[in-house]
């Protein structure tokens, strides 16, 4: 029987003004990329299959197309795909209503005055 460890984390970086002009799917791809980069040391050393649940279907579909050898014409999404491809990770769609804690935190972020935010 396979044994899996499950971790649920929330990583919510602050967004600059220029990113607010991006398409929603591009911003979601950036969010996944930033999460994976933030946890890269853990991901690279893990002996478990890493599963990243994402509530944005276009992001998941872009990842699935990458696995089929296809690429995006959007440079922002292409950068996401190149970055994600360097990790042994599987990106799976899960509706926001099924990821209640993360969905709540993303809609109600805690104010941070530290320079690390």
Q: What is the pLDDT of residues 21-65, one digit of tens each?
A: 888 888 888 888 888 888 888 888 888 888 888 888 988 998 998
Query: Among 11, 14, 10, 34, which residue's Cα sits nearest to residue 117?
Result: 14
By the 10 Å C-beta count (0-12 exposed, 13-18 middle, 19+ buried), 81 is classed as buried
Alpha carbon distances (Å) from 116 to 14, 29, 89: 10, 22, 26
CA-based max dimension of the chain: 48
Query: Among 67, 102, 57, which residue's Cα sits nearest to residue 88?
Result: 67
Q: What is the pLDDT of residues 88-109, one digit of tens each?
A: 889 999 887 787 776 676 677 6
pLDDT at 116 over 70: no
Give kind and range of the element (H or E) at residue 31. helix 24-38
- Inter-axis angle of helices 24-38 and 57-67, to 10 degrees? 70
The whole-number pLDDT of residue 30 equals 86
The whole-number pLDDT of residue 8 equals 52
Q: How many CB atoms are closer than 10 A to CB 70? A: 10
The whole-number pLDDT of residue 11 equals 57
For residues 9 and 102, is the Cβ–Cβ distance under 8 A?
no
For residues 24 and 75, is the Cβ–Cβ distance under 8 A?
no
């Amino acid at each position: 029987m396979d044994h899996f460890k499950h971790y649920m984390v929330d990583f919510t970086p602050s967004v600059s003004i220029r990113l607010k002009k991006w398409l929603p799917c591009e911003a979601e791809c950036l969010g996944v990329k930033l999460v994976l980069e933030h946890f890269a040391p853990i991901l690279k050393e893990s002996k478990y299959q890493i599963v990243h649940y994402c509530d944005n279907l276009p992001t998941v579909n872009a990842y699935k197309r990458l696995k089929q050898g296809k690429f995006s014409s959007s440079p922002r999404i292409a950068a996401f795909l190149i970055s994600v491809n360097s990790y042994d990770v599987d990106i799976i769609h899960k509706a926001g209503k099924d990821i209640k804690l993360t969905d709540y935190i993303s809609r109600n972020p805690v104010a941070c005055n530290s320079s690390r935010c």
